[in-house]
Structure 1
């Protein structure tokens, strides 16, 4: 019997100067474990006059995880964080009751040709932590657990699995795993997984349940403990999931919460630029992304 519950193909959209492939949420699967949103950015080749410029925008009720394959992003937030993220490192920002941040091309790259490619992920917070104080952490590439096993290279980017723990300060039981192969390999990791699980094929292809699946697809497993598949040559996959929450999570724009009233309040606070709820971003005070208005 097939262990694949759902196949989700990447749905591309143009945002600024690069292509973003929306992976989650999907109408048939809103979340996988605590993971509520995954975007595949790029790869985008930008000219000297093209830059990433996502102005200050708010979040509530979630943690953001930014993980780059190529390029660089300058992160600034209302906590005063000012951090350049480079490939292999992790930016982990917990919004809690509310935070504001911007994402831009660093100044030293703004007049140069450049490439941007990576993943941006939202992880919902447990109900009891949705109103926690916001925080920010940056974890360098060398701090991420990495090892070779089953003829493949593994990284535990966030969470707990394989008897290992990533230093990314997550707030619930989850895992975000990178697996790379140069040769065709059979991978069996179900005994190390728990809760809900999904697999995203970044490049290459895998064979599972008698089918071949190519890049830019997510496979959602029926049973994470049965996670076995064959990776073709030069393939990279990301496995993410964990223990799901009992309560449904609602999403409006950049707001995630188990209570629709909290989202409505956040919408009002942002629309009226309530600085008690959403402070300015130091060094990026003169810009902001307006609240999207419903389409008529």
Structure 2
């Protein structure tokens, strides 16, 4: 394998939501998207006190893309108008295909609001091509024990494989567009070469710790973009580190977004708004608190 060179380092900027500590590496200044990766929020790490209000993500609609939520610590209750409901614990992941449209809520379960505790969550938006934007909505919730954890770096690290193939294993999520997605954990001084085909867009975000790529040291809360001059990424962990690592084929289509809707044209955005207001996202029944 030939190592890709680092193109640029992008800091996540602070954008708290109510009392939820939030950092956003993309979109940000100088980085609108990494096609097809549209948006990444890093919530926490923080500790909620007992008798807290929990996460602020009550019922809201989506159309035209997918959301992938990684629960690093704490837990998350999900409910949507497709009839899906779950509580995902620490180490788990939920992958929701909004497709033609649904309404969902991502909130803290009553036990967390009562007792409090540590919380850290990543949420990623993955675009869908025009031919799939109106696909049927779907949802998969995975607990930690349903995710393969593959040893790397001579046992000094592990890849938690969400989707795609790695070292002879296949992730439990079958992505509609062939997205590879994982969480990588490395012990200090571990070195690893992660496959990253040159024609694929790479998502690499340092959740915690610090790594080096070539001669560059990249600290936590930074995202890196890579040149298309190789087929792997060579990483050395400067400290214990947690990384969000994925890659995908670029879609190469116009992106028109309006709040929770991501389509190809302004006309399609207008149609999404009208459909939502007409109750067409309600599926198996509107969620409590939804006015549609």
TM-score by length of 1: 0.88
Please report how far the alpha carbon of residue 33 of structure 1 lies from its aligned counterpart in structure 2 after TM superposition.
Answer: 4.1
Please report how far the alpha carbon of residue 114 of structure 1 lies from its aligned counterpart in structure 2 after TM superposition.
Answer: 2.2
Please report how far the alpha carbon of residue 281 of structure 1 lies from its aligned counterpart in structure 2 after TM superposition.
Answer: 7.8
Distance 2:127 2:67 in 1: 9
1:22 alignment counterpart: 24
Please report how far the alpha carbon of residue 287 of structure 1 lies from its aligned counterpart in structure 2 after TM superposition.
Answer: 4.1
Please report how far the alpha carbon of residue 280 of structure 1 lies from its aligned counterpart in structure 2 after TM superposition.
Answer: 7.3
1:7 alignment counterpart: 9
Matched, 1:175 2:177: no
Paired residues of 2:81 and 2:286 also in contact (CA < 8 A):
no
Paired residues of 2:4 and 2:232 also in contact (CA < 8 A):
no
Q: Once the two structures are superposed, what CA deviation does each residue of 1:77-101 show, in whole Å capped at 9, x if it has no partner?
A: 0011111111122211111111100
Paired residues of 1:33 and 1:195 also in contact (CA < 8 A):
no
Paired residues of 2:27 and 2:38 also in contact (CA < 8 A):
yes
Distance 2:196 2:12 in 1: 28
Q: Once the two structures are superposed, what CA deviation does each residue of 1:162-200 show, in whole Å capped at 9, x if it has no partner?
A: 443211131112212222122302221246675011311
1:274 alignment counterpart: 278
Matched, 1:110 2:124: no
Could you tell me which of 146, 151, 154 is aligned with 2:159? 154
Structure 1: state its 5+ residue gaps: 291-296
Structure 2: state its 5+ residue gaps: none
Q: CA RMSD in A?
A: 2.3
Map residues 1-296 of structure 1 onto 2, 5 A cutoff.
3-47=5-49, 48-151=51-154, 152-190=157-195, 195-223=200-228, 225-270=231-276, 273-276=277-280, 278-279=281-282, 284-287=287-290
Distance 2:250 2:17 in 1: 30
Q: 1:252 to 1:221 in 2, by over 3 A?
A: same
Q: Once the two structures are superposed, what CA deviation does each residue of 1:13-37 show, in whole Å capped at 9, x if it has no partner?
A: 1112211111222353333242211
Q: 1:185 to 1:138 in 2, by over 3 A?
A: same
User: What is the count of residue pairs matched by the alignment?
Assistant: 286
Distance 1:17 1:144 in 2: 31
Q: Indicate the larger mover: 16-25 or 60-69.
A: 16-25
Q: Indicate the larger mover: 106-115 or 96-105.
A: 106-115
Paired residues of 1:33 and 1:241 also in contact (CA < 8 A):
no
Please report how far the alpha carbon of residue 283 of structure 1 lies from its aligned counterpart in structure 2 after TM superposition.
Answer: 7.9
